[in-house]
Amino acid sequence: MVKAKVYIFEKQFDGFPKEDDLKLIEEDLPEIKNGEFLAEAVYLSVDPYMRAYAPRLQTGTTFIGSQVSKDVKELQYSFYKMNPKHKKSGLSRAKILNFLLANTLLVSSVGELIQYPTEFKWTVDLLPLSLTKFWRSSSFFGHRSSRNARAPINICMQNTAYFGLLEVVKPKEGDTLVVTGAGGAVGSLVGQIGKIKGCKVIGILGSDEKGKWLVDELGFDGFINYKTADLNKALKELAPNGINCYFDNVGGEISSTILRHMVRFGRIGVCGCISTYNEKDPKASIVQYPMVFSELRMEGLHVTRWSDRYTEGILQNKKWIEEGKLKYRETVTEGFENMFKAFTGMLKGENFGKAVVKV
pLDDT band with cut points at 50, 70 and 90 for residue 154: very low
Poorest-pLDDT segment among 61-65, 135-139, 252-256: 135-139
Contacts of 34 (CB under 8 A, 6+ apart): 82
Residue 304: CB atoms within 10 Å: 16
* β-pair partners for 8: 23, 62
Cβ–Cβ < 8 Å for 50, 65: yes
What length is written for the chain? Answer: 359
pLDDT in tens, 13-37: 999 999 999 998 888 877 777 666 6
pLDDT score recorded for residue 329: 85
pLDDT band with cut points at 50, 70 and 90 for residue 84: very low
pLDDT at 345 over 50: yes
pLDDT at 158 over 90: no
pLDDT band with cut points at 50, 70 and 90 for residue 252: very high
Whole-angstrom Cα distance, residue 144 to residue 343?
20
User: What single-letter amino acid sits at 30?
Assistant: P
Whole-angstrom Cα distance, residue 331 to residue 348?
13
Compute φ and ψ for 109, nearest 5 degrees: -90, 155
pLDDT band with cut points at 50, 70 and 90 for residue 53: confident
* β-pair partners for 224: 204
Average pLDDT over residues 140-160: 41
Contacts of 206 (CB under 8 A, 6+ apart): 225, 226, 227, 349
pLDDT score recorded for residue 318: 79
pLDDT score recorded for residue 106: 53
Handedness of CA 9, 10, 15, 18 (dihedral sign): negative
pLDDT in tens, 303-322: 889 988 877 887 888 789 88
Check residues 128 and 65 and name the one with the higher pLDDT. Answer: 65
Instruction: Give the helix/strand (H/E) hosting 317.
Output: helix 310-322
pLDDT score recorded for residue 35: 61
pLDDT at 291 over 60: yes
Q: Which of 322, 331, 308 is nearest to 123 (CA)?
A: 322
Cβ–Cβ < 8 Å for 179, 194: yes
As a whole-number percent, the residues of the chain with pLDDT over 90 amount to: 45
pLDDT band with cut points at 50, 70 and 90 for residue 141: very low
pLDDT band with cut points at 50, 70 and 90 for residue 61: confident
Look over the chain and give the mean of its residue pLDDT values, rounded to a whole number. Answer: 78
Cβ–Cβ < 8 Å for 122, 84: no
Contacts of 167 (CB under 8 A, 6+ apart): 301, 306
Cβ–Cβ < 8 Å for 342, 17: no
Q: Which of 201, 251, 210, 248 is nearest to 228 (CA)?
A: 210
User: What single-letter amino acid sits at 39?
Assistant: A
pLDDT score recorded for residue 121: 43
Check residues 74 and 224 and name the one with the higher pLDDT. Answer: 224
Q: How do the residues of the chain divide into helix, strand and coil, expressed in percent and rounded to 5?
A: 40, 25, 35
